Every structure is written in C-alpha cells, then in structure tokens.
Chain A
C-alpha cells in the first residue's frame, strides 16, 4: 500500500479538494440562466461547496509550505534537494488553481446574490463586497504561489520531461488570468496604464 509521509507531499494532494471550488464557480454561472425560483438553492449549494473546498485547500497549502520549507527544500539555494520530482514539478503550479477559482467563484456568487437581493438588499450588497475583497486577497496570495512555482521550474529547467502533470500549466494559470482580467477588472474599475496608445 502507498505510504503517505509529509516529505513526499506534493501539490497533487490538492486535486480532490479543488472540485467543490470549481462546482461553486459553475453554480455562479448557472444562476444566470435558470428560473428565479431555483436560484437561491443553487446559490446556497455553491456557497457551501466554496466553504468546504477553499478552507480545506488552505489547510493543505499550509502542509505544502511546511513540506517545502522544513524538509530541506530551499528553492533558491540548493536546487536539487527534495524538490518535487522532475516529472511532477509542474504540479508546483497547482496551488494557484484553488486560489484563482475560489476568487473567481466568490466574486461571481456575490454578483448573483446582489442581483437577486439574496435575503435582504443590505445583506446581498455585503456579500457582493465580501466577494470582491476575498477575490482580491486570493489573487494576491496566488501571486506568492506563482513565484514559488516559477522558482521550482527554474530550478529544474530544462530537465522537465513531458508528463500528464503538464496540464498544471493550463487550468491554474487560465483561471488566475480569468480572475484578474474578467472578475477583478470588471468590479474594481482600476485605471490600466495606456501603454502604446496616444
């Protein structure tokens, strides 16, 4: 039987925990097209899924950073000591997945709650505000993890054999971009630099 130990922990441990967060994001989108009578139950189910998945993934991230820092893994100094194996080094990008998807989902759920005036107008406005704030915080936290992931890749580069773990380049980075470019940009209304335009 496969023996679990903290020194063998990788970000792959996050994979069973991410689906509820993804489901909550889907629920937020689904609320846009379903009959009004079904929106509340879908919204609550989505918040529950988010509430199970995001705190659990945060707990696993604590274990993962513990493994990276305590078990003789110094990304910037001793590159080749107990880093994730080359084949799954791309999994270092996986912590970005729950953070990006969780941020995008909580913003979308807040928008739906505001639009249907969930429970009361004041409460739904609060949910909307909390969603944007939480999304911004989770995006910020993802920046830390993307830095660690890039450092891991740099330590292994170019000895990174192709494997199924390369899908880690797609979902986490894609959802992080969506969180910034769609969800946050739409709600924060920040002024982007107008480089290259007169």
Chain B
C-alpha cells in the first residue's frame, strides 16, 4: 500500500515531466500488483495451513 501511495504521487507529479517516468510508473504499478496479490494470497494461505488440524 505504501508503494501504491508513491505510484499515485508519481502519476500526478513525475509522469507529466517525461515519457521515461511514465514507463517507470508502469513498471512500479505491475510490481505493486504482483506484491499486493502475493500478500492477499500468501497471508490467508499461511494462516490456513498453520491452523489446519491434519
């Protein structure tokens, strides 16, 4: 979520300055998507595995 805040700031402040920043922000966005989905899947999965009575 912290990265998302940084990306949002970059979209409004840095992206209009140069096309290079636009590509940079795009890369950050995809990293953010991967990390966020990882946290969304991994944490509940970890809780599920560690609490399962097998």
Chain A residues in the interface with B (C-beta under 8 A) = 1, 3-4, 16-20, 22-23, 25-27, 29-30, 32-35, 38, 42, 45, 49, 52-53, 56, 171
Interface residues of B in 1-16 (CB under 8 A from A): 1, 4, 7-8, 11-12, 15-16
Task: Rank and list the top 5 A-B pairs by shortest CB-CB distance, nearest first.
Answer: A19-B36, A16-B43, A33-B15, A22-B4, A23-B36
A56 and B40 in contact, given A19-B4, A25-B4 (Cβ under 8 angstroms): yes
Q: How far is the CB of B1 from chain A (nearest CB, A)?
A: 5
How many residues in B have their beta carbons less than 8 Å from beta carbons of A? 26
Interface of A is mostly: helix
Interface residues of B (CB under 8 A from A): 1, 4, 7-8, 11-12, 15-16, 22, 25-26, 29-30, 32-33, 35-37, 39-40, 42-44, 47, 50-51
Report the number of A-B residue pairs with Cβ-Cβ less than 8 Å: 75
Q: When A32-B11, A34-B26 are in contact, do A23 and B33 touch as well, CB less than 8 Å?
A: yes
Q: A52 contacts B29, CB within 8 Å?
A: no
